[in-house]
Amino acid sequence: MAEGNIGFIGVGNMGLPMAQNLVKAGRKLVVHDVRPDALKPFGNQIQSARSAAEVASEAEIVMVSLPRPEIVQAVVFGKDGILAGSKRKIFVDLSTTGPKVAQSIAADLAKEGIVALDAPVSGGVAGAEKGTLAVMLSGSKPEADRVKPILDAVGKVFYIGDKPGMGQTMKLINNLLSATAQAATAEALVMGTKFGLDANIMIDVLNAGTGRNTATENKFPRDILPRTFKGGFALGLMVKDLKLAIDTAESLHVPMWIGEAVKQVWLYGEGRGGPDQDSSELIKYIEAWSGVTVKGKAK
């Protein structure tokens, strides 16, 4: 079926390029952000809204891309929130909120006749800009089938299952492994640098061997070796995702010995430099401890 307006709330580092790709795909967007200036990049390509409720009164499908679970809940249930809109039928959460919040929101919205889908994404700002994100969609299959053609403009859509929170759990698994790879790679390259190895050669060898991971392939060559630290994902958000992952594992009685150690590394970085620093800056604190700096040329 041809869709009318699509609601989109939250156009930050990830939300903006996702919404722009929806516009490029020919979707009619009604957009709201707490920062009015955030809508300037769209020009006259979208319909702006003064509140989440206004978005939800213009669109049956409302998507959100927001930084933290408590913000998502406030946007849905707060004053002038999505629930106060008159047209909303499907709620799509592109944020990372964890399965408990996803299940709670889905249950509460179901009482109001609204279907909630969780659809967290992975691939970073670069993936959002290129439209190549991994989209982890879960929830009621009929509504998921309706939303999938829209989300195809954002990236590759994986239907995880019909239970609310399944997409969120998949996202936490992804970010746990991503955070582990980055922390371990930082420690390894600091060790090599202190012994006198060249950082670029280390990365080349790792990417040709079994140590290859997303950090060696992307984050280190792009953001860390050239010391630009502009990955676009806040370190505090990685800490948030790790906490959600550990909490979820504990609720399932799954051991997280490695995951807990990784969380402590990231907490140390957050404690030293604050939550708003770029996540690529984690290596600075391992370097400071070890008395070396990992430098290389951008590729």
* Residues with catalytic function: 171
Residue 88 to residue 190: CA distance in whole angstroms: 51
Instruction: Spell out a b/e string for 253-267, using b for 16 or more CB atoms within 10 Å of the CB, else e.
Output: eeebeebeebbebbe
Pairing type for strands 115-118 and 121-122 reads unpaired
Candidates 104, 256, 273; CA nearest to 172 is 256
Contact 179, 242 (CB under 8 A): yes
Within the chain, where are the H helices? 15-24, 52-56, 69-77, 99-110, 124-130, 141-151, 166-195, 199-208, 214, 235-251, 257-273, 283-290
Instruction: Please report where in the chains the tokens 């906490």 appear, as a residue.
Output: 243
Residue 217 to residue 267: CA distance in whole angstroms: 24
Cα torsion through 97, 54, 145, 45, rounded to 10: -100
Neighbours of 141 (CB within 10 A): 11
Residue 16 to residue 12: CA distance in whole angstroms: 5
